[in-house]
Amino acid sequence: MNQQTGGVMQQGRPELALQRRPFGSWLLGPADQGPRQLRIRTQLLLTFFSVGTNIIGASVVFVLTVFVLPGPPSNHELQLVRTIVFPGYFLLAVLVGAVWSTRYAVRKLAWMLEDRPTTRKEQIVTLRLPLRLTMIEMFLWLLATVLFGVLALIFQPDNLLRILITTFDGGVVTCTASYLLTEFALRPIAARALADQAPPKRLLAAGLKARTVFFWAVGSAVPVVGLMLTATLALIEKDVSATRLSVIILALGTVVLVCGWILTVLSAKSVVAPVRSVRNALAVIGDGELNVRIPVFDGTELGSLQSGFNRMAAGLRERERIRDLFGRYVGPDVVREALASDSLGGEERFVAVLFVDLVGSTELAAVRPPTEVVQLLNRFFELVVDEVDRHGGFVNKFAGDAVLAVFGAPAELPDPAGSALQAGRALARRLADELPEATAGIGVTAGTVVAGTVGDIRRHEYTVIGDPVNEAARLTELAKAVPGRLLASMTAVGESAPAEASHWKAGEEVTVRGRNRPTQLAIPA
């Protein structure tokens, strides 16, 4: 599955971030990794995060219960529970949790292992997988709370409240951190699930507001409530000294600050990663590269933001494709004119007109296969367009085997007549050298025309209308019978710059068909 990617900014090079860190971290690998590689990478991350967070959580609970919180010294039976049951349950819970979570995840992610698109139901299950896996850990922590509470009630009831507080609070904070890390590890899989389906209209995970309130409650409210309950225990214990109370407060304050900081950082990173991917992709689009797609790996409003960016980028690509296609038919200058104004009408412009027409095209079509005729025409048009573009002109029409080019409209030129004459000479030379089997007459003239958009409000065409257009067409007919196949009017030569005018000399004076005024011909010197 090939996707353009999003990631972190690197020294002003967002395109590198999009390529190297598609999901916000190098730990998650590239966007196009195979199913087996992705499964192994994800499994290793999930196992490492789960074991790591539970070890830290269990260690904090053990230290607080045994050495920090006020309460009577543990009796012999409770010490045995602490020495044997607590480590044994922890190891068993880690093993059971790993096997249970792995089997559940493999079953729910069968679509990924089979390398096929997701169904709607599989998409929803995949995005809710971090919550499901965290609920497995939460169940094991609640079971530990109940088990150790019952043992404390049996062997030393005075320590019941202390054990329940620390185990429950430790489980809540640990499972919350585990949820954030699980969501992080599953980003590539979530991106694949969302890539094959339209973005959901309803959120598939808790919204940003709900998540912010929840993480505040877990990172701040729960530890503070635990701290208040600890103060209650200290009040119950009559013989707690001031030094002991200070140590308790300092230790618990440190735990609260560290846990709150960890959860805040993890929560912030889960929000920043999607936003940063969009920011980097916007920077790439700002540099002119529209072929950008970022992976959608979030089920909240941030995922809607990512998918909205992808729709925007697709719209821009389609707009640019249409603009490019439109420009191929009418020319980029006309596209800019149409985008600037969609009204009908025109204006008088002084322009130069170049008309080119093949000689004997009817005979060519009669004696050659149609494919060869089309190839010949395309090669002929290629040379004409190349020279017209090179000299700043605009190909206005392809009329069968003829081409009408305009210099000075819609884009103005400093020397339209000189540019047209120079293009005519270059085109005549290239046709003789590169396409000798296609003989064409070339006529060039200059004058005032009406240039603009004509047609109907439903269909426009940019064109030039005026006597110079007709004159150029007639000069082309005459040019077919003269050496070099190129004729111009002295009007065009007189309007051109001296450097170009020096390449022409006056010829005879003729009255071409359709005009009542004579035309002074000009031929290349």
Phi, psi of 401 (to 5 degrees): -110, 20
Tell me the three-class secondary structure of 17-45, residue by residue: HHHHCCECCHHHCCCCCCHHHHHHHHHHH
Q: Residue 327 has what pLDDT?
A: 59
Residue for token pair 């701290």: 227
Bigger pLDDT: 257 vs 456: 257
For every residue of 162-208, DSSP letters joined together read HHHHHHHHHHHHHHHHHHHHHHHHTHHHHHHHHHTSPPPSS-SS--H
Three-state secondary-structure class, residue 397? strand
Q: Residue 412 has what pLDDT?
A: 85
Confidence bin at 240 (pLDDT 50/70/90): low
Confidence bin at 72 (pLDDT 50/70/90): low
Q: Which CATH superfamily is domain 343-524 in?
A: Nucleotide cyclase, GGDEF domain (3.30.70.1230)
Task: Compute the distance between CA of residue 281 and CA of residue 273 in angstroms, rounded to an integer.
Answer: 12
- Residue 106: how many CA atoms within 13 Å on its side-chain side? 9
- pLDDT tens per residue, range 164-213: 878 887 888 888 888 888 888 888 888 888 775 555 555 455 566 767 77
Percent of the chain beyond pLDDT 90?
A: 19
> Is a pLDDT exceeding 70 seen at residue 17?
no
Can you list the positions of beta strands (E) in 312-424?
345-358, 394-399, 402-407
- pLDDT tens per residue, range 55-71: 888 887 877 777 666 55
Three-state secondary-structure class, residue 54? helix
Show me where the domains of the chain are located.
14-317, 343-524
Q: Residue 326 has what pLDDT?
A: 57
> Is a pLDDT exceeding 80 seen at residue 325?
no
Mean pLDDT of 499-513: 90
Q: Residue 20 has what pLDDT?
A: 67
Phi, psi of 281 (to 5 degrees): -65, -35
What is the DSSP secondary structure assignment for residue 414, as one 8-state letter?
S
